[in-house]
Amino acid sequence: MRKDKDLAIGMRKTGSTYAEIRDALKIPKSTLSDWFSGENWSNDIKKKLTTAAYEVHAVRMRELGRVRGIHLVKIYEEARLEALQEFIALKYNPLFIAGMMLYWGEGDKVTKHQTRLTNVDPGLIRLFITFLDKACQIPLEKIRLNVLIYPDLDPDKCIQYWSTQSGLSKNHFTKCIVIQGRHKTKRLSYGICIANVSSAYFKAKIIKWLDVLPQELMGKTYYESI
């Protein structure tokens, strides 16, 4: 028997992995597999090593999750503070107020990452995009549009329509999503448009603005300052 095989067996029986044996004795993993794969005692060690690796991985993932959670809390707090600072300058901007009222009534308040507004009115969608661009300073390339259509509508025509109405090129659009309508005759000619910015940071700011703007508008000092 090869002397290095004896050493390899000894190391394996103490719980060493193939990688550890390879690094110590310079024996290829393929050779170690040929030697040990059929040995029940080696397979038992493999199971123990696998279980231990899973436990270590689970601990690491929990720790990473904890650290990430702490980091996200700080990020969201920064977003809310920034929103309050910007609100001082934005609260008398009619475009900002209009956009926020639109979002308050029609926007998604549930998800953490999507600032999303859905509507069939092209003027409303265009105004919301202008609000994102001019009031919130969101780069146009960050704004994405989706169109929900019925099976009998032409996707290309619908995207062209909403592109013209929104003022954004077709590059901003994702593939149309086909939906089934309940009514056979009352169909929307060009589907339903969704304007969206995917950013947890910006969503945190929007939610903060939704919290402070109504209070500001209902306060006496707001109108005394105009």
Residue 25 lies in a domain: no
The tens digit of pLDDT for each residue in 41-100 reads 777 777 777 776 666 666 666 665 565 666 677 888 899 999 999 999 999 999 999 999
Residue 81 lies in a domain: no
Query: pTM of the entire structure?
Result: 0.67
- For residue 108, the enclosing domain spans 90-224
Q: Which token pair is 12?
A: 């394996």
Domain-embedded: residue 185: yes
CB 208 within 8 A of CB 83: yes
User: Is position 33 within any domain?
Assistant: no
Give me the number of domains the chain comprises.
1
The answer to whether residues 109 and 207 touch, using CB atoms and an 8 Å cutoff, is yes
Within a domain: 29: no
For the stretch 167-220, pLDDT in tens is: 999 999 999 998 876 555 556 789 999 999 999 999 999 999 999 999 999 988
